[in-house]
Each structure stands twice: as C-alpha cells, then as structure tokens.
Chains A and B, each alone.
Chain A
C-alpha cells in the first residue's frame, strides 16, 4: 500500500515564523515606538492646553491691577495665541491619516509647541517678576514652579522636550532671581537650576520607563501575533493530519473489503513463510480457519512434502531476490488431505528503506480449470480420432463404389452413392474445420511460416482447385500479371485460405462464368483478390460473414455445401500471418474477396 497523495505533514514551525520569532522580543520596531511616544505626547495636549488657559487666566486676573496692563494684556494674548496654535496642531495630528510614517514630523511640531509653551511662561517670569518685593512674587514663584513640574507627566514621553520646556520657564526666572540683589533670592536662584536638573533627571527616568513599557508592549503584540499564527498553523496541521488519517482509514477499509470479498485467496507471510494473515477465500480454499494457520509455516503446512517447485530452497532464493513471482503453479495440501493445484502470485512488500515488510501471496485453485482443459483436450482428440475412423470406412467405401472399381453401379444406386459420398466428405470438412478453429482459439495453433514467392502459391492454388471448379463448370483465371514479391507465410495454411476463397467463388458463380484472381502491391503490402460474378453478399449477412457458422441462409448451404466455418478460419489464419481480409461488391455484379499480406524486403532473408 502506498501512503496516498497526502502532503507530508510536519509539526515544526516554518522557517519564516521562526525567523520572525527570533527578533521579536527586545527588538521592537523603533518607528512604532516613536509613533507611540508621539501619541502619548499629543494625548496629554488637551489637558495641557486647558491648564495653560486656566493658569494663564488666573495669572492675568492676579496681575491685572499690580502690573503694567498693556504687558499683562500682551501676555494674555500670547497665551491665547500659543494655545490656539497648539489646538490647531492637535487637530492636525488627530486628522492625520498616517501617524506612523509621519511620527518624526509630528514629534518636531510637538517640540516647537512645547518650546512655545515654555517660552510663554518664561516670558511671564521674566517680565512680571517685579523689581521690588511684593506678594505677587510668591504667587509667580509658586505658579512657575507648578507649571514647570506639570511638564514632567505631560512630556514624559520625551525627556529632552521636557528639558526644553522647563528650561524655557526656569532660565529667565532664575536670571531675574539672581539679579534681584536680595540674598534669599540669590540663594533660590542657585537652587532653582538644581531642582531643574533633578526634574530633568526624573523626566529622563520616567522617559526610560515609558520607553521600555512601549517596547514591552510591542514585543507582547508581536508575540501574540506569532502565537496566533503558530496556533493557526498548528490547527491547519492537525486538520491535515486528521484528513490524512481518514484517507488512510478509508483506503484501509477498502483494502480490507477487497481482500475479504475477493474470490482470490490472499495470504500474508513473513520472510520465514510464517502465516500472518489470510482472507476468507484462502480459508475456503484451504479448509483451515485463519486462527489455525496464523503463526504456522506455510512451507511446512500448505504444500505436500514432495512438492518440487515451492521448496525451502526456492523460498530462500525468492526472499533474497525480493522480486514478484507470477503464475507459479504449485500443488497445495488442504486440511482434509486433498491435493489441489494452485496458481500463485507472490509479491514481497518492501519498505522505502528497503526492508522486507511481509510477503503477499495471492492464489487461485485451478484444479477444476486444469481438469476442464484436460477434458476438452480429450474431447477434441476423441472427436478427431473416433469420428474420422468410421468416416474413413464410409468415404472409402463410397469412393470405391463411385469409381467403379468394384463393379458398375447404375442409375439411382449410383446417384445415391454419390450423394452419400458428397455428404460424408462434408461431414469430414466440418470436423476438420471445427478442429482448426478450436486449435486457433485455444492458442495451440502454430504456423510454420517460410519465405516464398506469392505468384507460385497462387498458381498452385489454382491447379489444386481446378477439379472442384470444373464440377460447377467454372473457369479459374488469372487477371493481369501475378506479383512475384516474397511473403512470409505458412504454405499449407495460405493454400487453405486460397482454397476456401476459390471454392466459395466457384460455388456461387453462375455456370459457365469465370472466377478471376489478381494481385496488387501497395504500401508494403500485397493484395490478392478473388472475384466472382455471383449474386453478391446479402446486406444483413455482411456484418457477420467472418463469424463462426455464418451462412447467408440454410437453403443455399444445403444446395452448395460448406461448413460455415471456412471464412472464420480464413480471417484468423490471415491475421496470424499479420494480414487483413475483407470483401467488396464488384462493379458490374458479383463480389471480390481479398486479403493483404506484408511484403518481405527483397534482399533481406530471415
């Protein structure tokens, strides 16, 4: 049994999948990480803008009476402008269709926005921090510290952005503090950059945490993706496996059915001829049940001790050769001791690795078939001898009477004697034809072909059939020149064909007419034609003219004689000589029978 056409099934991940799995963890796509950071930054914007407006509003209210109103108004305008610009940026980003590929660009705009925002507050620190001490100093210091530190969560996704933003706020304010001339403020001016650096450090750390978070997320996504794909692949493979299993099971069932229902015995054996399995037909043939035979040696059990063909030595050679053996006829021993003749086909089952898996023997009991063949042969032989022996006496006696050797018979006696002789001859022809066709059909008929000239055979056939044609007052004539090509034929059998065609033509020709014989060469073949002026072949008879016992109608037969086997034999003989036989209507009335034979090459002799 072959494994069918199922594709090989493998459970290993594909090369592509494993290659992707290798670079998945820790190798998150940088572009996607950047896009995620951008998304995070823009996500903080609404809250940032709101805080910007709120704190800007409060500061404007607080400073309205205390500072130069024009400057406060300008500053408030700046806050609104920057916020509006950031809002536009925010909506632009949200509307973007390609955030991933344009992440760099959006990051740059965000940096500008952060700087603008920081500068706005830095401006407030630089312009509104007064030259004299008052309450608003505390307010401003508090406000700026708050605004700067609020940048940490807002810009956590990019620490340089925070550094820029907070720097823009802290730098002018520190300068103002440092140049105020007050010792406390100078000390604060020293502390502020330190706090700034600490904040930047925190932002940096936060940024790192964020980044690793993103990377983890991407790695996780990637893993999930791979996992899903592998799962699907696995599912597909399981499905394929199941299908393959079903196929194997189905063909196994089919095979079992074949073996169980088959009329042929099937026996499975190992290399030592130990029986492994057998089918019901084998049980029936051998008279053993499967259980009785499994484990027993076929060589010792199934064959008579004096079996000459299937000997242990033969078996050993067969196992070594590992080539199937067909049509091996061996005597087998049934359980009841009866000997039967079996025909075996023994096939070694070899695995792809070259190991002998088992040996399958299929066999058929041909005892009855052989007996039938023997009976038929005997019958044919009897027919041949036992029928011919009395016919020898009958025909011989009648011939002696009719030839006048034993005295003259006259009148009706002579007439009846010749009727008897003619019909005895017909009976003999029938027997000869029957034997011929039997031999041809059983394949026992062998030709003895030799190389000879066609024209000589044809001439000889005309001489041999002249007396028969004379009886019907028919002439046998050669038309044109006979071809002298060489043909490879059985002389006696080709003569039989010619005799058949000539006598048929003579029988059916009108009295006084002539049967014409001619030859024609064409295409490596030579055609011999025998033409008569008879009544032609009836339409309904044409299709079966070359079959056995074919005769147009029984009255003609009775009148003309013939066995109905002649043309069937001719057809088979001509075909055995690699030729063809046929017939056609003859222009002007009558029929032409022809046969074609291969022409032998002139110079070459076989």
Chain B
C-alpha cells in the first residue's frame, strides 16, 4: 500500500458525457484532482505533463484503443511504473486476464457507479505495493 493517499487521477476517455460524469464523481465525491484526456493519440504527453497517481483507461476508443495505449505507456520512460486501471463496457474474461498479466492494476466495468467510483479506485490503490 502506497504511503500517500490517492489524489491525482488521469482519465483517458473519448466520450464527452462520460468524461463529465466521471469528473464530477471523482472531484465532488472523491475530492480528487482530475485530468481528462479525450484523444488517446496525445495521451502520453498529457499524462507525462499531469503526473497523476493513477491512470484510468477506457478500453474502446477510436484510432488507438486502451490496451495499445497501455503498451505504449509501458514503453515510455516516466510512465512505465504508473498504475493503470481499465474501465470497459466489454471484455471477455480471457482478455481481462491478459490485461492483468500485462500488469494492469485493476479492471472496472461500465456503467460505473459515480457514487462508488472513487472508493473502488482507492480500494485498488490500497492493493498496490
């Protein structure tokens, strides 16, 4: 368990409405600082700039999907060790297992509950070394 609380979240998500709901949930309910990135192709730069505690990745996105972005992060200095949580509306058990093997910190399903989202992320945060 990290010795500091989970405060800064970066969420890569292409859907505007979900962005808005997630921002409200994390800021108002979770009292966290949030950076939303709508375009996955510029996400690496955005994450590097924001320096979050944890990255939340949507799975299905145009041009570059979540798993691809995740792999890129694993290849990028400064992002390699950042905990990543996937949030997805669709994934087979096999694919989820694969992600976990690749080092994803957790997987949350869509639709998520805005009330519970901050707590779910904190629960994952607590399992980290």
Q: Which residues of A contact B (CB under 8 A)?
A: 381, 384-385, 388-393, 395-397, 399-400, 403, 405-406, 428, 446, 448
Interface size class of B (residues with CB under 8 A): 20 to 34
Shortest CB–CB separation between residue B18 and chain A, in angstroms?
5
Residue B76 is within 8 A (CB to CB) of chain A in the complex: no
Chain B's closest residue to A383 (CB) is B90
Q: Considering only CB atoms, which chain B residue lies closest to A446 in the complex? A: B93
Cβ of A404 to closest chain B Cβ, rounded Å: 10
Given contacts A388-B90, A388-B111, contact A405 B29 (CB under 8 A): yes
Q: Which residues of B contact A406 (CB under 8 A)?
A: 24, 28
Q: Which residues of B contact A396 (CB under 8 A)?
A: 18, 21-22, 25, 111-114
Given A397-B21, A400-B21, A406-B28: A392 touches B111 (CB 8 Å cut-off):
yes
The 8 closest A-B pairs by CB, nearest first: A396-B21, A393-B17, A388-B89, A392-B111, A405-B28, A384-B90, A385-B90, A396-B114
> How far apart sit A428 and B113, CA to CA, in the bound complex (Å)?
12
CB-CB under 8 A for A399 and B113, given A385-B89, A388-B89, A389-B89: yes
- Docked CA distance A428–B89 (Å): 11
Q: Which residues of A contact B25 (CB under 8 A)?
A: 396, 400, 405
Q: How far is the CA of A389 from the CA of B88 in the complex (A)?
A: 9
Chain A residues closer than 8 Å to B17, beta-carbon distance: 390, 393, 397
How many angstroms between the C-alpha atoms of A393 and B60 in the bound complex? 15
A405 CB contacts on chain B under 8 angstroms: 24-25, 28-29, 114-115
Minimum CB–CB distance for A376 against chain B, Å: 15
- Interchain nearest-CB distance for B12 vs A (Å): 15
Residue of A nearest to B110 (CB): A392
B119 at the A/B interface (Cβ < 8 Å)?
no
| Known interface pairs A396-B21, A399-B114; 5 further A-B residue pairs with C-beta atoms within 8 A, sorted by A's residue number | A392-B110, A400-B24, A405-B115, A406-B24, A448-B93
Contact, CB under 8 Å: B111 / A428: yes
Determine if A399 and B28 form an interchain contact, defined as CB atoms under 8 angstroms apart.
Answer: no
Q: Give chain A residues whose Cβ lies under 8 Å from the Cβ of B112.
A: 392, 396
Q: How far is the CB of B22 from chain A (nearest CB, A)?
A: 7
- Most chain B CB inside 10 Å of its own CB: which residue of A400, A403, A428: A400
Asked if B98 is an interface residue, CB under 8 A from chain A, the answer is no
Binary A-proximity of B92-127 (CB < 8 A = 1, otherwise 0) = 010000000000000000111111000000000000
Does residue B15 face the partner (Cβ distance < 8 Å to A)? yes
Task: Give the Cβ gap from B3 to chain A, nearest Cβ, in Å.
Answer: 29
Interchain CA distance A393-B18 in the complex, whole Å: 5
Assess the B90–A393 pair: CB atoms within 8 A.
no
**When each residue 4-48 of chain B gets 1 if its CB lies under 8 Å from chain A and 0 otherwise, what string results?**
000000000001011011101100110000000000000000000
- A sample of 24 cross-chain residue pairs with beta-carbon separation below 8 angstroms, ordered by A number, consists of A381-B90, A384-B90, A385-B90, A388-B89, A389-B18, A390-B17, A391-B111, A392-B15, A392-B112, A393-B17, A393-B20, A395-B113, A396-B21, A396-B25, A396-B112, A396-B114, A399-B114, A399-B115, A400-B24, A400-B114, A405-B114, A405-B115, A406-B24, A406-B28
